[in-house]
A and B are shown apart, each in its own frame.
Chain A
Amino acid sequence: DAGITQSPRYKITETGRQVTLMCHQTWSHSYMFWYRQDLGHGLRLIYYSAAADITDKGEVPDGYVVSRSKTENFPLTLESATRSQTSVYFCASSESNLQGREQYFGPGTRLTVT
């Protein structure tokens, strides 16, 4: 199906484990983003990518790693999960011209770190 998808939708992991959240889009959008959503904070940008092999830090990048070997995929890895990383994670994409372009969001992944 066309659009932006995330997997898994729900994940429970233990402190210290590595976990990867997947994001896939079918529009060939150049830009992709990872946000986390926490009560009282709205959405905060973790990382974004302007194109394949180009990534940059957002507002809250510590503890996260991203890669973008293909335009359509933008996985987010928590190398050693901590309880503070319990959150809902949203992936988004946008067309190449950022000025005024809306972002298209995935359905989210609810991650619980125990």
Chain B
Amino acid sequence: AQTVTQSQPEMSVQEAETVTLSCTYDTSENNYYLFWYKQPPSRQMILVIRQEAYKQQNATENRFSVNFQKAAKSFSLKISDSQLGDTAMYFCAFMKYASGTYKYIFGTGTRLKVLA
């Protein structure tokens, strides 16, 4: 069974600095997708970044980038130039759909606080 582990329940970072959130997962699949979602205090969850497992290149979205290590089953999120608006809960998620079976597994989340 697939599992997603976020080992850092809480983190804090000074404004303008860089922070890395960890995520590891366990799967026997070869083709799958990984996501980072952000849930601000207002609670509506939004996508931050996605990574296709078949792509070796790490995904980047403005200040957000990932370090995808497929062999190590690691998918960390780096936030550069942290802003106060980055304060949120961040969830790592694994997704696989094949042969009528759907899997979308979330980690337990990392609460990030950006300090002024």
- Tell me if chain B binds chain A: yes
Q: Which residues of A contact B (CB under 8 A)?
A: 33, 35, 40-45, 48, 56, 88, 90, 92, 98-100, 102-103, 105-108
Are B97 and A42 in touch, CB under 8 angstroms?
Answer: no
C-alpha spacing A33/B109, complex, angstroms: 19
Most buried by A among B6, B50, B106: B106
- Rounded to whole angstroms, the CA-CA distance of A50 and B86 in the bound complex is 33
Assess A100 versus B44: contact at CB under 8 Å? Given A41-B108, A43-B91, A48-B102. Answer: no
Contact of B106 among A43, A98, A107, A108 (CB under 8 A): A43
Complex formed: what's the CA distance from A100 to B96 in Å? 8
Within 8 A of A (CB), among B41-98: 42-47, 50, 52, 91, 95, 97
A-B contact count (CB 8 A): 44
Knowing A99-B33, A99-B97, A102-B35 are in contact, say whether A44-B47 is a contact too (CB < 8 A): no
Contact assessment for B108 and A42 in the assembled complex, using a CB-CB cutoff below 8 Å: yes
**Majority DSSP secondary structure for residues of B touching A:** strand
The 8 listed contacts between A and B (C-beta, < 8 Å) are A42-B4, A42-B6, A100-B52, A103-B47, A105-B37, A107-B42, A107-B44, A108-B44
Tell me, in angstroms, the Cα distance from A45 to B67 when the chains sit together.
26
Across the interface, which residues of A come within 8 angstroms of B109, CB to CB?
A: 42
Say whether B108 contacts A103, CB under 8 Å.
Answer: no
The answer to whether B107 and A100 touch across the interface, beta carbons within 8 angstroms, is no
Q: Is there contact, CB below 8 Å, between B46 and A105?
A: yes
Min CB distance B18 to A, Å, is 25
Binding site for A on B (CB under 8 A): 4, 6, 33, 35, 37, 42-47, 50, 52, 91, 95, 97, 102, 104, 106-109
Chain B nearest Cβ from A99, distance in angstroms: 6
Query: Which residue of chain B has the shortest Cβ distance to A3 in the bound complex?
Result: B44
* Pairwise interchain contact B104-A100, C-beta atoms closer than 8 A: no
Q: Are A42 and B107 interface neighbours, CB within 8 A?
A: yes
Given the complex of chains A and B, what is the CA–CA distance between A43 and B104 in angstroms? 10
The distance from the CB of A6 to the nearest CB of chain B, in whole angstroms, is 10
**Assembled-state Cα–Cα distance A44/B106 (Å):** 7
**Is B104 in contact with A33, judged by CB distance below 8 angstroms?**
yes
